Amino acid sequence: MNKESKHKAIALFSGGLDSILAVKWMQRLGFTVYPVFFATPYLPPERAIESAAMNGIKLIVRDISAEHLQILETPVYGFGKYMNPCIDCHGLMFRLAGEMLAELGADFLISGEVLGQRPMSQRREAMNQVGKLSGYKYLLVRPLSQMLLDDTLPIRDAWVDKNALLDISGRGRTRQLALAKELGIDFFPSPAGGCLLTDASYSLRLKDLQKHNQLDNENLHLLRYGRHFRLNPTCKLIIGRDREDNANIESQGKRGIYLDARDITGPVGYITCCEPDEESYSLALSIFWFYHRKAPDQGYIVIRTGDKRSESFVNKCDETTVNKYYITT
C-alpha cells in the first residue's frame, strides 16, 4: 500500500464488482475511503451489505427514499427501459454524498462507474450530466476510467495522481476480473439483480401506485413481494407466491386485511385497505381462492383484521377475471 494520503473520499457503493474495485484501488493508493450505500424500497441494501462484509469494507447505509421518490415524478433526463431514471439517480446520489463531505471530513467523491459500460448513465455525455445535476462535478473522480475523463479538482490540485488511476472503458469485464484477482477480491454479486426499477413487472406495479397516489412507506415496501391486483382506486390485493413472500407480506402489512384458507394450506392474502367496498371485497376473496388451485370451487376463508377474526364462504374466481385485475407484464 502507498503512503497514507491526507485526503479522504466518499465512495458511492452499490456492492457490485466495479464499486468494490474503486474502493480497494483508492485504499491501495493510500486514501481513506468511506463507502456509502443509498437505500430505497426498490434498491434494498442487503446485497451491498453482504458484498461489503465479504470484502472487509465498512459500509455506511443511508435511506434516501423520500428524495428518490421525488425524482421519479419527472426526472430531468427521463427513464431508461423501465422506471429507472439512471442519470437523475446518479446525480442525486452524488449530490447527497457531496452533502456528507463535511460530516465525514472527506474531500472528494468516487464511484465505480466505467466509461461506456451502461447505455444510459455511463456514456461520456451522461457522466457529465450526472456531474452537473449533482452540483459536485468538480469533485468527482472515477478511478476505473479517470485516465479517459476530464480532470477535476482532486487531480488538478494533485490530491490524486492521475497516472495512478485506470483507463477501463466499455462493456467487457476482462480487465475488471483481472483487477479483482490482483486485489484479492473473490466475492462479488452478479451484475444483474440490484435495482428493481430495471425490472419490468416491478416497474408496472410502481407505476400503478404512482398513478393512484399511493407511494407511501407500506405500499412501497410491499411492492417487492407477491402478486398484485388493483381492485379499485384505493385498494389492492396482494397474494404471496412462496413462503418468503408470505412472511414478508405478514411483516410489512399493518393496516389492511389478511386472508388465509381455513381448511387447506396456501398463500397469504392481503387487502391493502381496511374498509374496501363490498364489490372489491368479494372480488378479492374470490381471486384469493383462485390461487388455491387444488381446492374445490368453493371454500372458507379466514379474515384477520387486527385482533378480529371472521370467516367467509367464497366461490373461486374465473381466470379471465383474475387476469383483468392482475398488475403484470
Nearer to ligand SF4 by C-beta: 90 or 236? 90
Q: In the range 73-112, which residues lie near ligand SF4 by CB under 6 A?
A: 84-86, 89-90
Task: Return the DSSP state at 110.
Answer: E
Q: Which of 51, 111, 145, 198 binds ligand SF4 (CB under 6 A)?
A: 198
Nearer to ligand SF4 by C-beta: 41 or 154? 41
The C-alpha atoms of residue 315 and residue 117 are separated, in whole angstroms, by 52
195 near ligand SF4 (CB under 6 A): yes
233's CB contacts (< 8 A; 6+ apart) are 212
Query: How near is the Cβ of 295 to ligand SF4 at its closest, in Å?
Result: 39
Nearer to ligand SF4 by C-beta: 89 or 115? 89
Q: Which of 121, 203, 246, 280 binds ligand SF4 (CB under 6 A)?
A: 121
Query: How near is the Cβ of 40 to ligand SF4 at its closest, in Å?
Result: 8
For the sheet containing 140-141, what is the strand order? 60-63, 32-39, 8-12, 108-110, 140-141
* Three cell numbers, residue 263: 381448511
43 near ligand SF4 (CB under 6 A): yes
The C-alpha atoms of residue 10 and residue 123 are separated, in whole angstroms, by 22
Nearer to ligand SF4 by C-beta: 86 or 257? 86
Nearer to ligand SF4 by C-beta: 135 or 191? 191
**Block residue for cell numbers 461489503:** 52
197 near ligand SF4 (CB under 6 A): yes
End-to-end CA distance of the chain: 50
Query: How near is the Cβ of 124 to ligand SF4 at its closest, in Å?
Result: 17
Q: What is the dihedral of CA 41, 47, 52, 53, to 10 degrees?
A: 110
180's CB contacts (< 8 A; 6+ apart) are 17, 20, 21, 186, 188
Give contact residues for ligand SF4 (rule: CB under 6 A): 43, 84-86, 89-90, 121, 195, 197-198
